[in-house]
């Protein structure tokens, strides 16, 4: 395992209790003193700090869009990417089976360990310590470009998500038109292979498709997290 001094420099915090940092880096496959409880704590701190920073950074953005922006920042893919930037895999303590199977390269293990480090910092130095790590690692990603990405049409965001996963693009179908000419209602369906279709209704066909796309995107993101 690489020197923990370099990791502490990378996250911008030096631990008084090194046992906490060591535990944060220990996967459950390596022993009883593993990082899952610290991960739980770090996840809560991460979500709060990111939410507070987004709230301050984007004063005119709605609650729903702030939630989507936060989800983009705290999702497994983003955390694993950050873990890669600070070479967190070099410090992980894994059991023999995980070492053989390349566990240090798994996004889930790296993302969980990063959250555990945040949780360990909270116990070691209080909320300010955890907040400092989160802001140091996340601040470069909290930009106007993040806002632009999350405020795009849900159909565009769904397409980008699917393209990023190498999956087929969605198909939109008008399921039903109903109501009088002056108060038409449209039911649109969004279909993606191998997952349940989503449907939405609106007075505008375009908005119905957008809502169906948003439901599909939420479903796919939940499946990818599971």
Catalytic center residues: 43, 115
Cα separation, 103 vs 106, in Å, equals: 5
Measured distance between the N- and C-terminal CA atoms of the chain, rounded to whole angstroms: 30
Cα separation, 175 vs 199, in Å, equals: 9
Cα separation, 160 vs 55, in Å, equals: 25
Q: Is 112 annotated as a binding residue?
A: yes
Label residue 19 exposed, middle or buried (CB < 10 Å: 0-12, 13-18, 19+).
exposed
Q: Is 39 annotated as a binding residue?
A: yes
Strand, coil or helix: what is 146?
helix
Task: Give the closest residue to 81 by CA, choosing from 17, 138, 14.
Answer: 138
* Angle in degrees, 0-180, between the axes of helices 107-125 and 76-85, rounded to the nearest 10: 80
Cα separation, 44 vs 152, in Å, equals: 27
H or E element at residue 109? helix 107-125
Cα separation, 191 vs 188, in Å, equals: 10
Q: Is 85 annotated as a binding residue?
A: no
**Which residue ranges are tagged as binding site for Mg(2+)?**
39, 112, 115
**Which residue ranges are tagged as binding site?**
39, 112, 115
């Amino acid at each position: 395992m690489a020197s923990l001094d370099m990791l502490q420099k990378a996250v911008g915090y030096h631990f008084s209790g090194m046992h906490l940092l060591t535990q944060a880096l220990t996967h459950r496959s390596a022993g009883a003193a593993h990082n899952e409880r610290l991960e739980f704590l770090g996840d809560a701190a991460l979500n709060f700090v990111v939410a507070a920073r987004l709230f301050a950074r984007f004063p005119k953005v709605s609650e729903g869009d702030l939630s989507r922006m936060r989800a983009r920042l705290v999702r497994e893919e983003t955390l694993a990417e950050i873990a890669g930037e600070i070479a967190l895999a070099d410090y992980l303590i894994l059991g023999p089976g995980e070492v053989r199977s390349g566990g240090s390269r798994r996004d889930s293990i790296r993302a969980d360990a990063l959250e555990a480090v945040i949780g360990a910092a909270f116990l070691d130095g209080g909320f300010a310590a955890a907040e400092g790590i989160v802001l140091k690692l996340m601040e470069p990603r909290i930009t106007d470009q993040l806002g632009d990405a999350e405020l795009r049409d849900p159909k565009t965001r769904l397409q980008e998500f699917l393209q990023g996963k190498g999956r087929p693009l969605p198909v939109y179908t008008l399921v039903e038109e109903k109501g009088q000419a002056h108060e038409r209602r449209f039911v649109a369906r969004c279909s993606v292979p191998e997952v349940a279709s989503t449907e939405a209704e609106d007075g505008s066909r375009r908005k119905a498709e957008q809502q169906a796309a948003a439901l599909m995107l939420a479903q796919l993101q939940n499946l990818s997290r599971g």
